[in-house]
Amino acid sequence: MSELYNELINKGFRETRWQYIFEGQIGGLVFPYNDGRNEVHVRFYSDRIFSEYEVGRSSFAHFLGPFLNANPFLLDLLKDSVSDDSYALLGEYTKQYRLKDEENALEDWDYQKQTPIGPANREGKRYLLNFELANSLGRFFQWKAVVPITGVMISVFLGLGLGLPVFLVSLLLVLFIYSKLPAMGCP
């Protein structure tokens, strides 16, 4: 698993403080895809490896858009760059019978055509947005655009009611939060 993890880092995947860690997860990497508007997340567990393609976390649309199984992308990406033993482990650890039900329920991502493969939703789950709409909205509703505007408005409101010190402290808090937010293309 270490060879797989390190090779993904060599290919541009990064660790990130913004990735949710699931129970049993022992490692995780993120790759900005499509100019960072989307991302490929790879999660390592002791008994499986699962990757998903999703709307990037730099956008509010991340919570509304679809998630697709990106294991076929991962297998293709690493096919010629890791040892035979590591690739065999990857093949075994990404098999359907190893995945959790919610992972198996996701549609597969056809990364060559940039579309989902298979039934429109294996469990009937509907997402509010598709990738095209999520990416369009994501240009306008990125955290880095929305948080400063909202934060400054709240700081002004607090400052008017509670005075200059509260305004300055809340403005510093907005700047701190802004500096920690994910940006498009940066996991």
Q: What integer pLDDT is reported at residue 127 of this predicted model?
A: 60
Q: What is the pLDDT of residues 56-87, one digit of tens each?
A: 777 777 777 778 899 999 999 999 999 999 99
Under DSSP, is residue 15 helix (H, G, I), strand (E, B) or coil? coil
Q: What is the pLDDT of residues 78-133, one digit of tens each?
A: 999 999 999 999 999 999 999 998 888 888 888 887 665 544 444 545 565 666 67
Q: How far is CA 116 from the centre of its chain?
A: 17
Q: How far is CA 58 from the centre of its chain?
A: 9
Q: Read out DSSP for 105-136? A: TSPEEETTTTEEESSS-TT----S--HHHHHH
| Structural element, H or E, at residue 44 | strand 38-45
Euclidean distance between CA atoms 156 and 171, whole angstroms: 8
Under DSSP, is residue 80 helix (H, G, I), strand (E, B) or coil? coil
Overall pTM surpassing 0.85 (yes/no): no
End-to-end CA distance of the chain: 21
Q: What integer pLDDT is reported at residue 43 of this predicted model?
A: 95
Q: What integer pLDDT is reported at residue 119 of this predicted model?
A: 46
Q: What is the pLDDT of residues 16-33, one digit of tens each?
A: 776 778 889 999 999 988
Under DSSP, is residue 166 helix (H, G, I), strand (E, B) or coil? helix
Residues 125 and 116 sit within 8 Å (Cβ to Cβ): no
